[in-house]
Amino acid sequence: MAVATQSLEELCINSIRFLAVDAVEKAKSGHPGLPMGAAPMAFVLWDKFMRYNPKNPKWFNRDRFVLSAGHGSMLQYALLYLTGFDSVSIEDIKQFRQWESKTPGHPENFMTPGVEVTTGPLGQGIANGVGLAIAEAHLAAKFNKPDAKIVDHYTYVILGDGCNMEGISGEACSFAGHLGLGKLIALYDDNHISIDGSTDVAFTEDVSKRFEAYGWHVLHVKEGNTDLDAIAKAIEEAKSVTDKPTMIKVTTIIGYGSPNKQNTAGVHGAALGGDEIALTRNNLKWEHEPFVVPQDALNHTRKAVERGAGYEEEWNKAFDSYKAKYAQEAAEFERYISGKLPDGWDKVLPTYTPADKGLPTRKHSEMCLNKLAQVLPELIGGSADLTHSNLTEIKGFGDFQKGQYENRNIHFGVREHGMGAICNGMALHNSGLIPYGATFLIFTDYMRAAIRLSALSLAGSIWVMTHDSIGQGEDGPTHQPIETLASLRAIPNLTVIRPADGNECSGAYKVAIEKSKQNDPSLLAFTRQNVPNLAGTSIEGVAKGGYTVVDSEGTPDIILIGTGSELSLCVTAAEKLTSEGKKVRVVSMPSTTIFDAQDEAYKESILPKAVTKRVSVEAGTSFGWHKYVGLEGGFVSIDRFGASAPGGVCMDKFGFNVDNVLATAKKVLG
Amino acid sequence: MAVATQSLEELCINSIRFLAVDAVEKAKSGHPGLPMGAAPMAFVLWDKFMRYNPKNPKWFNRDRFVLSAGHGSMLQYALLYLTGFDSVSIEDIKQFRQWESKTPGHPENFMTPGVEVTTGPLGQGIANGVGLAIAEAHLAAKFNKPDAKIVDHYTYVILGDGCNMEGISGEACSFAGHLGLGKLIALYDDNHISIDGSTDVAFTEDVSKRFEAYGWHVLHVKEGNTDLDAIAKAIEEAKSVTDKPTMIKVTTIIGYGSPNKQNTAGVHGAALGGDEIALTRNNLKWEHEPFVVPQDALNHTRKAVERGAGYEEEWNKAFDSYKAKYAQEAAEFERYISGKLPDGWDKVLPTYTPADKGLPTRKHSEMCLNKLAQVLPELIGGSADLTHSNLTEIKGFGDFQKGQYENRNIHFGVREHGMGAICNGMALHNSGLIPYGATFLIFTDYMRAAIRLSALSLAGSIWVMTHDSIGQGEDGPTHQPIETLASLRAIPNLTVIRPADGNECSGAYKVAIEKSKQNDPSLLAFTRQNVPNLAGTSIEGVAKGGYTVVDSEGTPDIILIGTGSELSLCVTAAEKLTSEGKKVRVVSMPSTTIFDAQDEAYKESILPKAVTKRVSVEAGTSFGWHKYVGLEGGFVSIDRFGASAPGGVCMDKFGFNVDNVLATAKKVLG
């Protein structure tokens, strides 16, 4: 199978290379270097190993492919085109990186069927791959029978030097090694070049040894540009090791074939230019016009269509007999895949009255999670080593560990960023799983890139964040969120909810579960400390984002807007103000995200324009609250870092008490 | 030196243990486990090796100590108390974790002299340690003479399992190995317990092998609870290897001495409780009352005071003879340490008129950096592998590499988070260095925890962020900041500046350099694309945060508020509106942070309350702009994710054009 001039393999591989070269040249933007160097490994993988159906990119049992080095997106678009996916035509490739094209700058799963996850921010893809492999392992353990393996696919990842430099990849790969995810196979495009030039300037560690330290099976293809047999042999060997993930270091030359630019940073992220392209065509004996793929190559690569139809048909038959034998499991499997929730699932969510004992909202979260876990077997997740602080254990469902993949409590370790991308990968397995990941709210800062990608790439992860204010207490300002809620509310398409009590916690989970099934993430913020159950709060109210919990007769003089642990301060302050003859409305605003999405009439009914005297009360920054309070209102907020002291002391010292709410309200009332 | 009953060493070590036990018990909050297990290594380090002067915690040539496992803060407070630092008395220890005490929940350099950096968020400390070691290596290479080593100290770090799980530590340690930082010595408290229990549940990699892969010198002390000789021998050996950093794995038992809780997660983060404390006292034969340190122990540990005075005196003498021989270098060294800027340094900053050719602001940034590098030799930094996109190379000053530590261009690799904490470490070396770190603005998401810590811990890092909007173009939504500026502006004490043109770039650097010397960080956001030089912009204007660049006669009908690349849209729109008879003011708002800090009279002069018709124009989210625009204004903003297309197309499609600014203004005008 070694490349000889004009061999069919060479034709196919050069087709990939020149589609990348030509598309980047036309766009005058993009990254030709990686596709040129990684084309051989990608071709071997997609041609000899990967099982997928180009005409049904969502076929459940397909092998998952992730281009973690997402800047090399033309590699993936070339593969999709060559193997016959409808999503990428040659015209689409000509529209590389143009407005609304199917071939954006980096692979985007929401733009291009056949792309599994959104990559580009380095290291995310390999961590998503760990999540995909976890999903596969879990579903296989749950649904497979000794005589019927209906869940049985590999996850393949191509990653580069950049991915391997990022901490997130280290976190995720250490965890994958711990879990022994044997069906995760990563091909490391070891081309020794990053944007700043040779990796010698910054990255001289022994990557293979590091992966061995993680417990991976590690292989090396020394001649990744031409030695297709060695690539195939390595993938075979990787598949044969079933109790460890495999990393295949494939040494390549970036921009392979470009006489003057290969093996330089110059070919990483810029068009080759006409002259160099001519030289490259000559060098690789490529006589075809731009965007022309020789028919022999296309005839070969398009065999994937028939092959893929066969795979799916075979699987469909297997599933039919599974269904015949295991009707109940098959029905559940089909429900998973459909993304539907079981009827009446939300009936398990508890409701409360003010007579019920006050608890920390993290405790309410724990109760919701445990109730939901009973009726939603697809709920699976855990904490980044704060299980008993976040209260995220779902009791009775065991720890997800090597060989115990049917279990549903995942111990992510102190790896917030890895956890984020792993949850996203599980969500983007698109098999109905509802993944959740937990840490302290402040440590969303460690995983923000993954949270953002959940919102961008339509991954229905649920982020469970506790210790949501200075009420956290003694751990001090390093652990106390101030600006954190604001910074998260600013992310498009992320639903942030900070419930005030038991009812609102149930409401928060109702929204989050429904959103997850619509492929949208939610972030829930819970207190460490006790809060009372209030009159007027409701599951339905949370679904509106903001709603009135205490009202006056007639137009209010003032509106107090509270969230989370501060809502009760508003309620008490309102009582006092009312007793003094003021007309006061209290609005609970668990989610500005949801409130903003309501129609104008609803918003006007809660925050009438005529009532300009408003006060927001939240143990966090005032940043962002002017939108609801206006320029004439007041803020009970903290616009500096917190301090180490018992939580109650912090709250009081920083003015989160009824007296200060009253004082602020009176100042606004004038 | 092995521990025998009642040996002096044991007395000292148990003094540390019980100070931690008693302080956590009194506070009913904190982490006794780490101090109890790590006390032996910490005692040996501080007693036999570390050079510091308790009576002058800022003595320049002290060894730096970082407790990366910051939750074990009582270890550090005990050491500070025992060795005679004035910052921590026994009364302070009794106030552990209380309001305004010197002994907050996690070590905070801004609260407690003797604490070098702020730790707690895991992994930050070891990465700060890499920064401290870089600072030492750089200053040594710059100032030392063959006959006079005035810069010559070690950086010691104690880190735990949690730190080692975090990606940031991997990034920083890989880089430290690459750089061969021989004077960085990390002691890994290998206690096999994290909050979720045994590290077996999530963390089973071979950490030592991983560090070897990074190019570190790796040692192992198998009996870290009792074998003080082995600890001392390992530190000796670490010091003897000068071309590699050393990681000493010290296997310990968390909560050593507690009969029922040691070696469990129960002792990690909670008070032992009275009964268990009694058993622990009995077990360790500790007959002293809470907070009582035996005089023999104190007599011994307080020898550090005399020893430290001697170290400083010796160094002062050495510096005096250095000064005599190398007057110019000594003067420069003294200027560094003083934190003063050279006279007239800011005169090099260029100014522009509208006749000057428009350039991307990242290009202006490059020119500022290069001008400043000539007059500010303490300016040192680089990019996370985007040097030629961020345009952050300071030409002629060489690459900071192993054996070339005098150079000033640092290639951080694709390690944004590590870069952030490393810059903070360099800043907190408190030797006058002005560190800068660069990447694309969107990737602040990868390093947000470090940026936040720069603001909290008074580290004067400068964050140079380019590609600051959808104007970034083809790379698409994964690379286009939308909510990023808002999320950064929300961080207390972080000065965010988005300059509009050449003058404002100079103004931004003037602020950032001055702030750095005041130990405050700044974040500068620059465009990828060209912007014109505008009339009315100025260095002085930036220093006010917001200022008028175009004004009407008399009270304006409307105020257009623009930042960065959108300011020119406001100026052009104002011209058209003016020609239509409207009175229009244009306010440039490069920094809401700085504007907010102005007095009310100034703010009123720029944004008079009476003018309620206002429009903000920024290629980012509207989140946060209501504070300046109010509820009656308009927003030219993008409140969704971007798209892959040429930058100009993105800007236009999303409404960042004069027509849309005009249309929005007219709608507001009614």
Q: Which residues of A does the annotation mark as catalytic?
A: 416
Q: Are residues A363 and A440 in the same domain?
A: yes
CA distance B296 to B12: 8
Q: Where are the beta strands (DSSP E) in A390-541?
A: 409-411, 434-440, 462-466, 495-497, 522-525, 530-531
Contact A478 B106 (CB under 8 A): yes
* A254 and A401 share one domain: no
pLDDT, average across residues A184-188:
98
In a shared domain, residues B101 and B201:
yes
Q: Are residues A256 and A375 located together in one domain of the fold?
A: no
What is the distance between the alpha carbons of residues A270 and A254, in angstroms, rounded to a whole number? Answer: 12
Provide the residue type at B179 as one letter: L
Give the list of residues 6+ apart from residue B403 with CB closer than 8 angstroms, or none.
Answer: B180
Distance CA A185, CA A246 (A): 5
Q: Which of B258, B263, B288 is nearest to B273 (CA)?
A: B258
> CB count, 10 Å around CB of A7?
13
- For residue A181, pLDDT over 60 is answered with yes
The C-alpha atoms of residue A269 and residue A254 are separated, in whole angstroms, by: 11
Flag whether A295 is in a domain.
Answer: yes
Is A338 part of any domain? no
Q: State yes or no: A215 annotated in a binding site.
A: no
Same-domain status, A211 and A297: yes
A408 contacts A380 by C-beta, under 8 angstroms: yes
Tell me the C-alpha distance between A472 and A479, whole Å.
8
Q: Buried b / exposed e across A575-588, counting CB within 10 Å, b at 16+?
A: eebeeeebbbbbbb
- Which residues of B carry a binding-site annotation? 31, 71, 120-122, 161-162, 191, 193, 268, 362, 389, 443, 467, 475, 479, 528
What's the Rg (C-alpha) of chain B?
A: 27
Domain boundary among the residues B302, B335, B358 is at B302
Residue % of chain A over a pLDDT of 90: 99
Contact A174 B165 (CB under 8 A): yes
Asked whether residue A188 is domain-assigned, the answer is: yes
Buried-exposed string B596-621: b where 16+ CB fall within 10 A, e elsewhere: eebeeeebeebbeeebebbbbbbbbb
**Strand, coil or helix: what is B435?**
strand
Q: How many residues does chain B have?
A: 670
Q: In B, which residues are within 8 Å of A104 by CB distance?
A: 476-477, 643-644
Closest by CA position to B215, among listed B165, B179, B168? B179
Strand partners, B635: B616
What average pLDDT is seen over chain A? 97
Chain A residues in contact with B630 by the CB 8 A cut-off are 626, 630-631
Q: Answer yes or no: is B337 within a domain.
A: no
Please give the residue range of the domain that contains residue A494.
345-531
What's the distance, CA B227 to chain centroid? 35
Separation CA A341–CA B418 (nearest Å): 42
Q: What is the mean pLDDT of residues A166-181?
A: 98
Q: Which of A205, A385, A443 sits opposite B196 (nearest CB)?
A: A385
B59 and B208 in a single domain? The answer is yes
The answer on pLDDT for A441 being more than 60 is yes
Enter the tokens of residue A374: 């009973």
SS3 for A344-360 is CHHHHCCCCCCCCCCEE
Q: What is the pLDDT of residue B4?
A: 41
Catalytic residue among B416, B504, B566, B618: B416
DSSP 8-state code for residue A445: G
- Cα separation, A208 vs A220, in Å, equals 8
Same domain, B425 and B574: no
Q: Does residue A253 register a pLDDT over 80?
A: yes
**pLDDT value at residue B570:** 98
Residues whose CB falls within 8 Å of the CB of residue A299, separated by 6 or more in sequence, listed in order: none
Confidence bin at A6 (pLDDT 50/70/90) = confident
Three-state DSSP class for residue B289 = coil
Residues from chain A that touch B609, judged by Cβ atoms under 8 A, are 631
| Cα–Cα distance list, A422 to A436, B216, B664 (Å) | 10, 29, 42
Which residue ranges of B make up the annotated binding site for substrate? 31, 268, 362, 389, 467, 475, 479, 528
In this complex, the residue of A97, A201, A446 whose CB is nearest that of residue B399 is: A201
3-state helix, strand, coil in chain A (%, to 5): 45, 15, 40
Q: Quick one: A16 and A52 in the same domain?
A: yes
Note whether B106 contacts A644, CB cutoff 8 Å: yes
Helix-helix angle B448-456:B124-143, to 10 degrees: 70
The predicted-structure confidence for B306-365, as pLDDT tens digits, reads as follows 999 999 999 999 999 999 999 999 999 999 999 999 999 999 999 999 999 999 999 999
- CB pairs A-B closer than 8 Å: 357
- C-alpha distances (whole Å) from B329 to each of A120, B324, B333, B335, B408 are 46, 10, 6, 10, 18
- Interacting residues of B659 by C-beta distance below 8 A, sequence separation 6+: none
> What is the per-residue pLDDT for A5?
56
- Which of B24, B92, B102, B165 to mutate against chain A (most A CBs within 10 Å)? B165
CATH number for the domain including A569? 3.40.50.920
**What's the CA gap between B502 and B361, in Å, rounded?**
7
Give domain status of residue B311, yes or no. no
Half-sphere exposure of B165 (CA within 13 A, CB side): 33
Which of the residues in chain B have pLDDT under 50?
A: 1-4
Q: Examine the fold and report which residue of B270, B302, B334 is the final residue of a domain before the chain moves on.
A: B302
Q: What average pLDDT does the segment A256-282 reach?
A: 96
**Same domain as A560, residue A518:** no
B165: nearest CB among A208, A414, A621: A414
Return the structure tokens found at B53.
């002067």
- Asked whether residue A49 is assigned to any structural domain, the reply reads yes
Same structural domain, B525 and B630: no
What CATH number did the domain enclosing B522 receive? Answer: 3.40.50.970
B65 sits in which H/E element: strand B64-67
Residues of A in contact with B475 (CB under 8 A): 71, 105-106, 120
Contacts of A201 in chain B (CB under 8 A): 399, 401, 411, 413
Q: Is A397 helix (H, G, I), strand (E, B) or coil?
A: coil
Looking at residue B489, the DSSP 8-state letter turns out to be: H
B186 contacts: CB under 8 Å, gap ≥ 6:
B68, B126, B129, B156, B157, B158, B159, B173, B245, B246, B247, B248
- B-chain residues near A453 (CB < 8 A): 478
CA A2 to chain B, closest CA, distance in angstroms equals 33
Query: Is A122 known as a binding-site position?
Result: yes
Out of A170, A386, A645, name the one closest to residue B167 (CB). Answer: A170
CA atoms within 13 A on the CB side of A190: 20
Judge: A194–B414 Cβ closer than 8 Å, yes or no. Answer: yes
The C-alpha torsion from B383 through B388 and B394 to B398, rounded to 10°, is: 80
B526 and B557 together in one domain: no
Q: Which residue of chain A is at minimal alpha-carbon distance from B382?
A: A196
Contacts of B67 in chain A (CB under 8 A): none
Take residue A199 and report the two structure tokens written for it: 């990796």
Q: Name chain A contacts of B448, Cβ cutoff 8 Å.
A: 445-446, 448, 487
Contact A174 B621 (CB under 8 A): no
For residue A322, give how far its alpha carbon lies from the nearest alpha carbon of chain B (Å): 34
Residue with tokens 């609304």: A100
Going by the DSSP 8-state scheme, the letter that residue B143 receives in this structure is H
**A531, A562, A591 - which closes a domain:** A531
Q: Is B416 a catalytic residue?
A: yes
Closest CA in chain B for residue A193: B385
Distances (CA, A) of A76 to A40, A117, A177, A254, A308: 13, 12, 27, 16, 17
| Residue A418 to chain B, least CA–CA distance (Å) | 8
Q: Whole-angstrom distance between the N-terminal and C-terminal Cα of chain A?
A: 85
A161 marked among binding-site residues? yes
Q: In this complex, do B202 and A448 lie within 8 Å of one another by their Cβ atoms?
A: no
ipTM of the complex: 0.98
Helical packing angle, B416-427 and B448-456, nearest 10°? 20
The 10s digit of each residue's pLDDT in A553-579 is: 999 999 999 999 999 999 999 999 999
| DSSP conformation letters of A175-191 | HHHHHT-TTEEEEEEE-
> From the list B169, B475, B623, which residue is nearest A105 (CB)?
B475
**Rounded distance between C-alpha atoms, residue B263 and residue A204, angstroms:** 37
Give the count of domains, chain B. Answer: 3
> Is residue A120 domain-shared with residue A174, that is, in the same domain?
yes
Note whether residue B49 is domain-resident.
yes
Does any domain span residue A72? yes
User: Which chain A residues have a beta carbon less than 8 Å from that of B399?
Assistant: 201
8 A C-beta contact, residue B344 and residue B84: no
CA distance B251 to A19: 55
As a whole number of angstroms, the distance between CA A66 and CA A164 comes to: 15
Contact at 8 Å (CB) between A455 and A467?
Answer: no
8 Å CB contact of B214 and A205? yes
Q: Are B162 and A440 in contact (CB under 8 A)?
A: no
Q: Does pLDDT of A546 surpass 50?
A: yes
Q: Which residue of A has its CA nearest to B608?
A: A631
Does residue A103 carry a pLDDT above 90? yes
Place of tokens 């699932």: A345
Residues constituting chain A: 670
User: Could you tell me which chain A residue has the CA closest to the CA of B639?
Assistant: A492
Listed in sequence order, the residues at least 6 apart from B20 whose beta carbon sits closer than 8 Å to its beta carbon are B30, B32, B35, B36, B39, B72, B74, B75, B78
* Mean pLDDT on A487-505: 98
Contact B479 A105 (CB under 8 A): yes
Model confidence, pTM: 0.98
Closest Cα in chain B to A608:
B631
**Does B478 sit within 8 Å of A121, measured CB to CB?**
yes
